[in-house]
Chain A
Amino acid sequence: MKPLSQAVASVPPSGIRRFFDVAAQLEDCISLGVGEPDFVTPWHIREAAIWAIEKGFTTYTSNYGLFTLRQRIAAHLKARYGVEYSPESEVLVTVGVSEGLDIALRALVNPGDEVILFEPSYVSYVPCVLFAGGTPVCLPTDYRNGFQPDVERLRRALTHRTKAILLCYPNNPTGAVATRETLEEIVRLAVEHDVYLVSDEIYDRLVYETEHTCVAALPGAAERTILLGGFSKSYAMTGWRIGYACAPAPLLEMMMKVHQYTMLCAPIVAQKAAEEALERGETEVERMRREYDRRRRLVVERLNDMGLECVPPQGAFYVFPSIRCTGLSSEEFTERLLWEERVAVVPGNVFGASGEGHVRLSYATSLPKIEEALRRIERFVLRHRG
């Protein structure tokens, strides 16, 4: 038979799932490998969705999404970050940030265009750039400066082929939050070199001891930024498949074209749920954020005590400690930890080469489970330290 798509074949299968069929079978295994909240969606949101189904909200919506939801998204972004988007033409409701990311890249990229991103990075970025026909250019970041994006390195990586810079702060997998100054410099470089910015701000509500900086709100950024936002993490709504993209009208129109012909619209029940989340979800967001924050401090302190060094992450719900003291590679560490102590983590190298020597632990798990997992990891580290 004829060969299948080269663009698709060139993408290696997901490294993240490799050990985890095993983990799923192991009894008594504690998983710190989950990239989604351990909370279920707050009841008032679920209840609003049930009501919507009862009332017969079962149809397609406008391709852009329900106007009332777009209005709420625009109002929410204006109130929180001072960015202004017109609900008529600059807000698009997407099937999660996942779809937003895909259509953003497809709207931007021509064959051969380079998209710069910082590693370790969320596992979908490189494949999505490749699917869009672009060339990913990955810049490493280092845990010794808290995985801050390196502006000098970025300056050197910018070429006439660079089309866009992809940003993700707060970051998956490192939990890093880029400082406002760094982001301002990145925006200045983007303006200088006339490149677009795609900013995945899905973890915007999960920041600790700091404020979130919305990239689109920085001077000069709005006209060249696609802002991706979501409900999955802040409102514990991963399964609803809902998010949004905001950009200047001509840019959003391009994304909308792809969305219209591939997705048609986001599920209406999820859109109704998202309306409820924006309208009345604030208390619950804060309750969950506070809970994550307490776990975060505990995990960071314990990991550092046992020799798995980490700079305290300021966002999301991940820690990305160095495992250097064990002398093991990320995959060896992960595999042995799974077999010897029945704790599942994610090897850092699946997030890019600069993730080697680290593992990702998610603290989106109940405190008693986290504590038991930390006890097991400590035992493991003691055994493997030279």
Chain B
Amino acid sequence: MREQQAGWEVAMEHEKEKAILEILEQDARTTPEQIAAMLGLEVEQVRQAIRRLETAGIIRRYKTVIDWDRFGEEQVFAFIDVKVSPAREVGFDDVAERIYRFPQVHAVYLVSGDHDLRVIVSGRTMKEIAAFVAERLAPLDRVQATYTQFVLKRYKEDGEVYAEAEPDRRLVVAP
């Protein structure tokens, strides 16, 4: 009976934290006071939960979604599929690590299919990315082939649609 009770409390705590995370994921600047009001919790409870989520590495950090193009700073992105021969003990991990340490690398995934790693890279120009592939990626030990696709237009990224926002088409007042 007590075990069941404890299990239930853990589940409730999980739901609460999940709701806090969802709110912060939408807008990291929502204050603990606002979150507390929105979820019917005490402010101190929310503060504690956020602290716990930060220390546990669940909240990695707070960042801002920026449309750099609109700001006038153009950036080029490329998807690079990389074929790698795996090594005993480490598989693909060591190669992945050597790649993701480059700051211009945005993402590295191990994927199923024809290639092994999918790398997302940014640069100021296509030439810069081409140089990165030729001088940094391709020569790495055990990298057998690379296949580069440049991004021509970004429509949606991380849930964010990069088009003009739809206007609110509703009447100012409705019954």
Contacts and interface: CB of A to CB of B under 8 A. Distances in A.
B103 interface: no
A349 interface: no
B87 interface: no
Interface in B123-175: 166, 168, 170-175
B20 to A, nearest CB: 11
B48 interface: no
Contacts of B170: 34, 36, 38
A16 B175 CA distance: 7
B91 to A, nearest CB: 36
Instruction: Choose among B39, B170, B172, B174 the residue with the greatest number of A CB atoms under 10 Å from its CB.
Output: B172
Contacts of A295: 38
B59 interface: no
B174 A35 contact: yes
Chain B interface size range: 10 to 19
Nearest to B168: A38
B37 A301 contact: yes
A294 B39 contact: yes
B23 interface: yes
A35 B37 CA distance: 23
Given A38-B168, A40-B166, A294-B23, A17 B37 contact: no
B173 A302 contact: no
B174 A24 contact: no
Contact of B173 (A20, A38, A294): A20
Interface centre among A19, A124, A301, A344 (most CB of B within 10 A): A301
B129 to A, nearest CB: 33
Nearest to A123: B175
Nearest to B22: A290
B171 A34 contact: yes
Interface residues of A, number: 30
Contacts of B57: none
B175 A124 contact: yes
Contact of A344 (B27, B37, B172): B172
A298 B172 contact: no
A17 B172 CA distance: 9
Contact of B37 (A20, A31, A124, A297): A297
Contacts of A346: 173
A201 to B, nearest CB: 17
B75 interface: no
Nearest to A173: B175
B108 to A, nearest CB: 31
A367 B166 CA distance: 17
Interface in B2-33: 23, 27
Contact of B172 (A24, A124, A302): A24
Among A294, A297, A371: residue with most chain B CB under 10 A:
A294
A31 B173 contact: yes
Interface string A170-192: 00100000000000000000000
Interface in B69-102: none
B62 to A, nearest CB: 17
A39 B172 CA distance: 15
A302 B174 contact: no
B173 A16 contact: yes
Interface string A11-37: 000101101100110000101011110
A31 B172 contact: yes
B38 to A, nearest CB: 4
A344 B34 contact: no
Contacts of B23: 294
A172 B174 CA distance: 12
Contacts of A172: 175
Contacts of B172: 20, 23-24, 29, 31, 33-34, 344
B40 interface: yes
A35 B171 CA distance: 9
Nearest to A33: B173
Given A34-B172, A297-B40, 9 more contacts: A16-B173, A16-B174, A23-B173, A33-B172, A294-B23, A297-B38, A298-B37, A302-B37, A344-B173
Interface of B: 23, 27, 34, 37-40, 166, 168, 170-175
16 contacts: A16-B174, A31-B173, A33-B172, A33-B173, A34-B173, A34-B174, A35-B175, A38-B168, A38-B170, A123-B175, A172-B175, A294-B23, A295-B38, A297-B38, A298-B37, A371-B34
